[in-house]
């Protein structure tokens, strides 16, 4: 059996006619930049997340970068985040001449450890301008503690919700829990477009206005520039595609949760013991399972075996950011963030998309069981 890590063709087949109709409408209009679809999508995403405003941008990376800029982060500032995340979380900080400051993660959720954050800020918060909690793999970080710490130290809270649109923390939506929420619409995301795209949410009108200026070179009206911005606009074609997909997003997320539950059931019956540890979802959270990530023994050998048997998998992420060559000058060393380093050696993402069939889920688990039985 061949089970892809992600099979976007299955999703596309179900919505092809609807999507192509909307793309044709955009082409017929010949209006491709910041048109009616972008405006409508911004309103729909804001409402969906429970935020007052949303601003479409060119990518998830730009969403983080522009949120940092709107928060006033610049050269010499410090921004606290996790070392166990995709590169753009910390890379965007460094691009602005600011310094990424890392704190370790929780061993079960893989999200930033609020206790570690508290200890860091207690030791010294000098120069710290913001904190970026990452809602990793579709589950929100522990936001009440993070927001309280940020408030006590006058820090902006920028949610990296690239993997977590539709996720809930105490029934509140990801992207409406901090000062800014940053989303990616990369094709592999639960809500993915046909290229790159992103969105920033906020509950503050002034912040939203500044984001709109920053995405358009710092201009309120054409050829007049109040601040230095960049060119980062979500285009009409991508917005049209996303508006179609948004209508199905909750249904797809429910399918992912159903598959996650089936995995948990199958693994519990497999007799694998501690060879495979399934994801921990906190009771206050509703996960959207952008990835289904397990902790496994003999990870690299298992992944090779799965590939030989036709099962797709991926490693998110093989090396903590503090160990990356480009961040060498930050002065961190191996051993500084032991949980992140340990997790990076053990995590493996398995297929979780909603179109998976029951037989495919059983095949994935039985193949893993076969590996450990040898």
Between CA 340 and CA 353 the distance in angstroms is: 26
For residue 351, the model assigns a pLDDT of 98
The CATH code for residues 8-103+111-246 is 3.40.640.10
Query: What's CA 74's distance to the chain center, in Å?
Result: 23
pTM for this predicted structure:
0.97
Sheet hosting strand 168-169, strand order edge to edge = 172-173, 168-169, 285-286
SS3 355: coil
For residue 285, the model assigns a pLDDT of 98
Of the pLDDT bands very low, low, confident and very high (cuts 50, 70, 90), residue 350 is very high
> Do the Cβ atoms of 5 and 307 come closer than 8 Å?
no
Helix (H) or strand (E) holding 370: helix 358-373
Average model confidence (pLDDT) for the chain? 97
Q: Calculate Rg over the CA atoms of the chain.
A: 21
Angle, vertex CA 40, rays to CA 223 and CA 220, nearest 5: 15
For residue 186, the model assigns a pLDDT of 98
DSSP state of 167: -
Asked if residue 273 has pLDDT above 90, the reply is no
Contacts of 338-345 spanning 24+ positions with Cβ under 8 A: 338/104, 339/104, 339/105, 339/106, 339/107, 339/113, 340/82, 340/83, 340/84, 340/102, 340/104, 340/105, 342/107, 343/84, 343/105, 343/107, 343/110, 343/295, 344/84, 344/317, 344/318, 344/319, 344/320, 345/299
In the chain the first and final C-alpha atoms are separated, in Å, by 20
Between CA 56 and CA 199 the distance in angstroms is: 4
Q: Nearest to residue 168, comparing CAs of 159, 179, 177?
A: 177
Q: What residue segments make up the domains of the chain, in order of their start?
A: 8-103+111-246, 249-373
Residue 143 tokens read as 């936001």
Q: Which residue has the tokens 């297929």?
A: 351
Q: Is 234 exposed, middle or buried (0-12, 13-18, 19+ CB in 10 A)?
A: buried
Asked if residue 168 has pLDDT above 90, the reply is yes
> Do the Cβ atoms of 71 and 158 come closer than 8 Å?
yes
pLDDT tens digits, one per residue of 59-111: 999 999 999 999 999 999 999 999 999 999 999 999 999 999 999 999 999 99
The CATH code for residues 249-373 is 3.90.1150.10
For residue 374, the model assigns a pLDDT of 84
For the segment 32-51, the average pLDDT, to the nearest whole number, is 97
What is the secondary structure of 221-245 as a DSSP string? Answer: ETTEESS---B---BHHHHHHHHHH
């Amino acid at each position: 059996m061949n089970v892809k890590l992600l099979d976007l063709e299955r999703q596309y087949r179900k919505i092809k006619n609807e999507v192509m109709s909307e793309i044709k409408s955009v082409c017929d209009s010949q209006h491709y930049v910041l048109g009616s679809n972008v405006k409508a999508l911004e309103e729909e995403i804001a409402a969906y997340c429970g935020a007052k405003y949303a601003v479409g941008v060119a990518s998830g990376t730009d969403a983080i970068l522009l949120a940092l800029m709107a928060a006033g982060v610049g050269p010499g500032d410090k921004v606290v985040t996790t070392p166990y995340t995709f590169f753009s979380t910390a890379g965007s900080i460094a691009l602005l001449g600011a310094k990424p400051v890392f704190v370790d993660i929780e061993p079960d959720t893989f999200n930033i450890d609020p206790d570690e954050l508290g200890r860091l800020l207690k030791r010294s918060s000098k120069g710290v301008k913001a904190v970026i909690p990452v809602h990793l793999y579709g589950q929100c970080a522990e936001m009440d503690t993070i927001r309280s710490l940020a408030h006590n130290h006058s820090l902006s809270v920028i949610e990296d919700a690239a993997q977590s649109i539709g996720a809930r923390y105490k029934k509140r939506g990801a992207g409406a829990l901090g000062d800014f929420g940053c989303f990616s619409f990369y094709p592999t995301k639960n809500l993915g477009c046909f290229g790159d795209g992103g969105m920033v949410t906020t509950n503050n009108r002034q912040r939203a206005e500044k984001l709109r200026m920053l995405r358009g070179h710092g201009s309120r009206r054409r050829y007049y520039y109040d601040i230095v911005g960049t060119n980062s606009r979500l285009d009409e074609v991508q917005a049209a595609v996303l508006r179609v997909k948004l209508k199905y997003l909750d249904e797809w997320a429910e399918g992912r949760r159903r598959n996650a539950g089936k995995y948990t059931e199958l693994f519990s019956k497999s007799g694998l013991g501690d060879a495979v540890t399934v994801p921990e979802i906190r009771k206050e959270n509703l996960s959207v399972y952008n990835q289904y990530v397990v902790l496994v023994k003999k990870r690299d050998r298992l992944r090779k075996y799965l590939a030989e048997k036709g099962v797709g998998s991926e490693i998110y992420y093989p090396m903590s950011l503090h160990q990356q060559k480009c961040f060498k000058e930050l002065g961190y060393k191996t051993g500084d963030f032991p949980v992140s380093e340990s997790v990076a050696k053990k995590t493996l993402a398995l297929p979780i998309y909603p179109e998976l069939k029951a037989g495919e889920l059983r095949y994935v688990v039985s193949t893993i069981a076969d590996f450990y039985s040898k």
